[in-house]
Amino acid sequence: MTVTVGTELPEQVFRVTRGDLVRYAGASGDFNPIHWSDRVATSVGLPGVIAHGMFTMALAGRAVTGWTGDPAALVEYQVRFGRPVVVPDDDEGAEVTVRGKVGALLDDGLARVDLTVTAGGEKVLSLARATVRLA
Amino acid sequence: MALDRELVGRSYPPSAVYEVGRGKLAEFAAAIGSDDPVHTDPAAARAAGHPDVIAPPTFAITVTLAAAMIVLDDPDVGIDYSRVVHGEQRFTHHRPIRAGDRLVATTTIDAARSVAGNDLLTARVDLATEDGEPVCTSLSMLVARGEA
């Protein structure tokens, strides 16, 4: 794989349902009710149940590790949680789209990947960057 | 309440040991939809050069977020837990977390400032093995929204 500045990662679309949030809550230990109860979510001013920000970060991470082919190659990873991903209580859920582009080639065989993560056409993560070791 | 800059650099006692299990890593990988066998199959992990199955990159949060939250128990910090949201997250992996690791988390306040009525506090959590080998550094920015 030849990687240069501007190389684009394959776009990935992840479907997120309420069931996925329940599963992530159990696996991560984050049982905040805004991720499973509409009653609690709306009481704190949210439009409804929202995905865990860390779940969205994990999905965007998958787009990167799927591209490198090696989860261990992701050495640094950062995001800012911008907007919440609202997940309706239906079979379709929400769609999270991850696009990425190599922003810089660094020393020691590392590359910086700049990620654009959207749901419903809005950016949900900002300053999302991963540093990966190129094979 | 405005955060006191003097808090920067304050460290908290190390956590109890967290032992990383293969089952937990497989459960986490399934929850994020990752089917890479290095998370579930020890033979595949060894073939990729790891001593045992490895964690997906954001698995560290299952240990580090709870460790970061201990700063909220500090009366000098004075932030109400119910107002806190997770603003930013950064991981630096010194090596992948793997099954069998016995991890200790040490929390330090890395930054503290107040902007437009919101308190922004960055907790650094250093994850190391019991023997002191650095594994992951996590920076979690916690935002306490001002009471408008």
Cα of B96 to nearest chain A Cα, Å? 6
Where do we find the tokens 């009710």?
A33
Q: What is the dihedral of CA A108, B38, A68, A125, to 10 degrees?
A: -100
Distance separating alpha carbons of residues A100 and A117, to the nearest angstrom: 9
ipTM for the whole complex: 0.96
Other Cβ atoms closer than 10 A to A10: 10
What one-character DSSP code corresponds to residue A71?
A: G
Token pair of B139, please?
């920076």
Question: Given A14, A59, A80, which is nearest B87 (Cβ)?
Answer: A80
pLDDT band of B2, cuts 50, 70, 90: low
A89 touching B, CB under 8 A? no
Mutation target vs A (from B89, B92, B137, B140; most A CBs, 10 A cutoff): B89
Render each residue's pLDDT in chain A as its tens digit; 135 residues.
689 999 999 999 999 999 999 999 999 999 999 999 999 999 999 999 999 999 999 999 999 999 999 999 999 999 999 999 999 999 999 999 999 999 999 999 999 999 999 999 999 999 999 999 998
